[in-house]
Chains A and B, each alone.
Chain A
Amino acid sequence: MNGGPALVSIMRQGSTLIASVHTALNDSELVRFEHDLVDQIGEHRSRGVIIDVAALDVIDSFAALTLRRIAEMARLRGAQTVLVGIQPEVAFTMVRLGMGTGAVPTALDLEEGLALLAEQGSHHPRPDDPEA
């Protein structure tokens, strides 16, 4: 599960984790990504997670499910997840196949995702967050 280089880079930006998916992931790679990301949320005490899927031209049902699971787990560990960069064709295909993102908020791109998190985070500022 932990072998090979990471196919998703997870970067820390303040209290936000930014995960960019660079290439199509198979099921075991998705599981590994889920594992890594949820681990790092605790490690960095992140309050927000942005998953950028702009490089994906296919999101299958397992990927959609995994993304929803990640968001739910992140929420349980205290971070709000935003899904960004869904391509037009991907968005329509997902809807056609009846796989939405559930309760996970979406935004156009990274910039919009950060803005959305900032907006939501401002309602619940963390006492020790220097940016708040």
Chain B
Amino acid sequence: MQPEPEHDSAQSGPSGHLLSQLVAHLREHRTRLQEEWSQRIQQAHLLTAMTPQEMAAETTSVYDNYVEVLETGNVEALQHYAKDLSERIIPRGVETHEVVGIVLLLRDVLARSLFEKYQRDFSMLNEVLDAYEPAANRIANTVAVSFVDERERVIRQQQDAIRELSTPVLPVRERLLILPIIGVLDSERARQLTEQLLSGIRKHRAKVVVIDITGSPDVDESVANHLVQTVDASRLMGASVIITGLSPKIAQTLVTIGVDLSKMNTIGDLQGGLEEAERLLGYTVTRKEVSTSS
């Protein structure tokens, strides 16, 4: 294992000694510096989504974490904290520029306090800044990266959710699935539909599937072809497909592209489709007479 030079410099050597001196200074003037930092945040109109109490709590913990990382040079704890913080503030609508902004403000506030402390000894100030700047920049970097990572994770999660919701496969009765399609069916959605339908057939051991496209105004030629192929593929898996709610326009498209529709079982509306599906599966639905005893 190679020793990490940055860790070393934080622990020992001349700059290590300077850093511990620096940390002691920052701890000593914690209240004043934190106050100054909060004011700068407010002046810059950052974190407006948070209440003053929340801001006080967050700035305190960010400050303490910041100083701790300066002292130990251990970024992992900070990464963990930044991830945690991002999880809390992203749903509140905090933007990337705000997070980066407040960390940079803190960096500047602390740097200013160092100027003030060492203003009479210029070479000392230089050395202190040499020790301080790389560590501070690393912290700013870490926080920004953690925040962006977290945002991207949230976005990915939401994309997955939307993808799943856009083509729901719903079991209605034993061995009967419904696929309601709402909105325009583009080729990407059509592909998902096929995927979800075929795996749904296997998962639910479906024998009959009703695809209802009442909510879909139009399909293009490739999607129509894809739909026909999906019906055929379902048949290969032992399930028969009933398509309901074909709009006049889609009916026209299907006829125009000249696919063999003789094997396509289509029924006017979802109600009719369900009745046909029940017939195929051997269900008989009877309405129970409601006794109205007075």
Q: Which residues of A contact B (CB under 8 A)?
A: 83-84, 86, 88-89, 91-92, 94-96, 100-101, 106-109, 112, 116
B209 to A: closest C-beta gap in Å: 12
Number of interchain pairs (Cβ within 8 Å): 52
Is B30 part of the contact surface with A, judged by Cβ < 8 Å? no
**Are A88 and B238 neighbours in the complex by a CB distance under 8 Å?**
no
Interface residues in B233-251 by Cβ distance below 8 A to A read 233-239
- B199 CB contacts on chain A under 8 angstroms: 88
- Most chain A Cβ neighbours within 10 Å, of B198, B206, B232, B236: B236
In the complex, residue of chain B having the shortest beta-carbon distance to the beta carbon of A116: B238
- A94 CB contacts on chain B under 8 angstroms: 233, 236
- B239 CB contacts on chain A under 8 angstroms: 108
**Are B238 and A96 neighbours in the complex by a CB distance under 8 Å?**
no
Q: Which residues of B contact A (CB under 8 A)?
A: 194-195, 198-199, 201-202, 205-207, 229-230, 232-239
Contact partner of B235 (CB less than 8 A), chosen from A88, A106, A112, is A106
Q: A88-B237, A101-B236, A108-B205 are in contact. Are A95 and B229 (CB under 8 A)?
A: yes
Contact partner of A107 (CB less than 8 A), chosen from B195, B229, B238, is B238
- B194 CB contacts on chain A under 8 angstroms: 92
Could you jot down 6 A-B contacts, CB within 8 Å?
A88-B202, A88-B237, A95-B236, A108-B202, A112-B207, A112-B238
- B229 CB contacts on chain A under 8 angstroms: 92, 95-96
Contact partner of A106 (CB less than 8 A), chosen from B195, B205, B238, is B238
- B236 CB contacts on chain A under 8 angstroms: 83, 86, 91, 94-95, 100-101, 106
- A116 CB contacts on chain B under 8 angstroms: 238
- Most chain A Cβ neighbours within 10 Å, of B198, B199, B229, B237: B237
Bound-state Cα–Cα, A96 to B194, Å: 12
- B233 CB contacts on chain A under 8 angstroms: 88, 91-92, 94-95
Bound-state Cα–Cα, A83 to B233, Å: 13
Bound-state Cα–Cα, A83 to B236, Å: 8
17 new A-B contacts, CB < 8 A, other than A95-B232, A108-B201, are: A88-B198, A88-B233, A88-B237, A89-B198, A91-B236, A92-B198, A92-B229, A92-B230, A96-B229, A106-B238, A108-B206, A108-B207, A108-B237, A109-B205, A112-B207, A112-B238, A116-B238
**Are B232 and A88 neighbours in the complex by a CB distance under 8 Å?**
no
